[in-house]
Structure 1
């Protein structure tokens, strides 16, 4: 019986190449990781998660997780775009106290330059708020988030979120209704590049 020649086995690892993943321009192209692939086209679309603390060296921001997606490859560098952020569950859990209220907001917004994203924020009260107070706080937060998104470009809006400026604005305006301990914009999800007419 004849044997089928399988030929020489190729070590697939030898055909693969390492690519350095870079953060987007608004994060100064900082290296955020590496990935390996046999072809540059296979790198496009991959996602990576890091923390704001790792990018800017401020360890007090380790609870803020950033998500990037590779959009193109230039030589050994894989360039990315920002696709959202999140806060760790442990951090959010640490803000919740007994006999207090947590007011959640979930808003779909579009920025001045047409980027669409979902923004989720939470306000934490000092004591338990009643239903009408919770509704009033939620309305104020929704209105401010919608207004600021329309006034700012995508990059500026994301900067305002990650720097804590938007959270501070929400806190100042909403605490008039009922005393608040903290407000956090805890999550963003990029939905599309531009708004359909």
Structure 2
């Protein structure tokens, strides 16, 4: 019995040694509080990823089917600050947008926003109103890719990410693609922030 009590005491002491840290979104999203984590050592917190509802974060009901992830990169006191890590639209929601006799057009590309040390891998999908011919689908795909690449050349990382998450980038693509063939919707269904090729090469040399 004495051993059991001692063991329980150690567990309680270990829990008491842990502290709560408030986690905040990046500055371009208003540094909003997105959650809390517990840790016994602040040095173990950087690198952790927190995922939240994008709709709740930006107060947009149309984005409730999207989850956004943020990676902690700095701890100061009891505050943990993050950088954008990625987002993904619910797969079941994406499947529901594919209607009978319509065409789904996908493309995945990696871009490096203006002046950024990080790249973003983006998956974009267009949903047509009716069946599109192969040549039309190819032109829509090429137009979406060009629109994203051109925008990345003009926007820094925060501006690019904000436009992507809030639907502004999707609207740009919709406007230039609809003259090609009737498009019902265009969405950036997934993204991930990745290290640049130069950074990855430097890391391998170490």
Same fold (TM over 0.5): yes
Gaps in structure 1 of 5+ consecutive residues: 1-6
Distance in 2, Cα, partners of 1:125 & 1:56 = 28
The yes-or-no answer on 1:133 pairing with 2:115 is no
Shift of 1:52: 1.8
Shift of 1:195: 5.7
The one of 173, 191, 195 equivalent to 2:194 is 191
How do 1:44-123 and structure 2 match up within 5 A? Answer: 44-114=46-116, 115-123=118-126
The one of 12, 18, 21 equivalent to 2:20 is 18
Q: Deviations over 1:17-73 (max 9, x none)?
A: 111111111111111111111110111111010012221233332112110011111
Distance in 1, Cα, partners of 2:91 & 2:115 = 31
Distance in 2, Cα, partners of 1:140 & 1:56 = 28
Distance in 1, Cα, partners of 2:52 & 2:155 = 25
How do 1:140-159 and structure 2 match up within 5 A? Answer: 140-159=143-162
- The structure richer in helix per residue is 2
Shift of 1:108: 1.0
Gaps in structure 2 of 5+ consecutive residues: 1-5, 200-206
Q: Is the 8 A contact 1:168 1:183 kept in 2?
A: yes
Secondary structure of the structure 2 residue equivalent to 1:98: coil
Moved over 3 A (4+): none
The one of 171, 180, 183 equivalent to 2:183 is 180
**Length, aligned pairs only:** 190
Q: Is the 8 A contact 1:110 1:195 kept in 2?
A: no
Give the superposed CA RMSD: 1.6
Q: Deviations over 1:166-195 (max 9, x none)?
A: 111111111111111110011111111x56
Secondary structure of the structure 2 residue equivalent to 1:65: strand
Secondary structure of the structure 2 residue equivalent to 1:169: helix
Q: Is the 8 A contact 1:86 1:187 kept in 2?
A: yes
Q: Is the 8 A contact 1:20 1:35 kept in 2?
A: yes
TM-score normalised over the length of structure 1 = 0.91
